[in-house]
Amino acid sequence: MSAPSLKFASEFRDPAAAKVLLAAIARKADAIGATRAKPVHIMEICGGHTHSIFRYGLDKLIHDGVEFIHGPGCPVCVLPMARVDECVEIAEKPGVIFTTFGDAMRVPGHRKSLIQAKSAGADIRMVYSPLDALELARRNPGREVVFFGLGFETTTPSTALSIQQAAREGLTNFSVFCNHITVPEPIKALLDDPDMTLDGFIGPGHVSMVIGIHPYDFIAADYGKPIVVAGFEPTDLLQSVLMVLTQIAEGRAAVENQYGRVVPEHGNPVSLAAIADVYERRPSFEWRGLGEIDASGLRIRLRYAAFDAEEKFGIGYATGRRNVPEMEGCACGSVMIGKLKPTQCPQFGKGCSPEMPLGALMVSSEGACAAYWQYAGAREAAE
């Protein structure tokens, strides 16, 4: 196959480099016999990478023997409905100021989303940082300020450091509703799925900046799959795909770091120490579409229980009641593990759009469905 034409060349900061990488990927894909009928499946774990792939049309520009599978690395998208319900329950309690990242406002719950709860009168405020929630707690000593702690290892240090700070100041009206999750465990769950046909991974960049590259060792050592930690620029992603294909061509499986300019091999020691001080692993945590995954979520340690909203309000895992079903007709789960394309969901563009999301994958710009909606539709119209 010849090198694909660079239809979106003007979008690239360095179109010449992208062209060279695309040609090298094509040669490597041909060499290992990857074709449209029998493609190499590479999962980009991080939702930021999914967004970048669609934004630059990399899935179309790349050799058609390389198929991107969009992974579970969008924290808003994997948040189960039951947790949204619990957010609303906390937010509706008298005296509570519920603070959250804006991304989470429109995720549907069974009764309502946070934005609907806010319209109905709950004091819900969008903040940029848990530090804003801390400041609200200082300024409102008569109110209970709860921060919705959400995200992978990238945001976990921010809530850990905020809880440590609250403890140092002796704040008694600040707590975190902890929904922090970890990247390696769901990847292990995906690799253990007998239907899974992944050939390699693009590893998350900013998560790895915190945890380093060794938590992924098992992917290469135990499952024989290559993984390359990547940056977010289009040429970073293309170079990482080339590195994965090169490993496959050479019959190797290793953890490699394409994003060494930001990702230290052993991560960020201050962040890791704060996480270890404040959090411990839950026995399991529920993921939308993936179910309960062992040791994939964090909870606040007993010594910081005063800052744990689950303990303070007797909610969530503290109550032992779980297993709330997801919305009927929503195929987010199958899309999340790469079994369905977003457009194959019966609700895509019908019952579910970014304006009226039914499933979480349509809410966040890092969700595969929202990315398809935003970019693939416009692209098809242009073709």
Contact footprint for another protein (CB under 8 A): 11, 13, 46-48, 51-52, 55-56, 73-76, 99, 101-103, 125-132, 135-136, 139, 150-152, 154-155, 157-158, 161, 165, 204, 206-207, 209-210, 232-234, 261-262, 268, 270-271, 274, 365-366
**Minimal distance, residue 265 CB to another protein, in Å:** 14
Three-state DSSP class for 151? Answer: strand
Identity of the residue, 65 or 231, whose beta carbon is nearer to another protein in the bound complex: 231
Q: Can you name the residues that pair with 245 across neighbouring β-strands?
A: none
Judged by CB, which is closer to another protein: 14, or 217? Answer: 14
Shortest Å distance, C-beta 158 to another protein: 5
Residues 1 and 23: their CA atoms lie apart, in Å, by 10
> Which phi and psi (to 5°) does residue 15 adopt?
-60, -30
What is the smallest separation between the CB atom of 60 and another protein, expressed in angstroms?
17
**First CA to last CA distance, the chain:** 21
Nearer to another protein, 28 or 288 (CB): 288
Q: And the tokens for 238?
A: 């293309």
| Contact yes or no for 300/308 (Cβ under 8 A) | yes
Beta carbons within 10 angstroms of residue 332's beta carbon: 26
Rounded Cα distance between 12 and 10, Å, is: 5
CB of 270 to another protein, least distance (A): 5
Cβ nearer to another protein, comparing 32 with 353: 353
CA angle 298, 315, 354 (to 5 degrees): 75
The residue among 97 and 253 lying less far from another protein, judged by its C-beta, is 97
Report in angstroms the alpha-carbon separations of 35 from 1, 28, 31, 57, 66.
Answer: 10, 12, 10, 19, 8
Smallest gap from Cβ 85 to another protein, in A, equals: 21
Nearer to another protein, 128 or 192 (CB): 128
Smallest separation, CB 159 to another protein (Å): 9
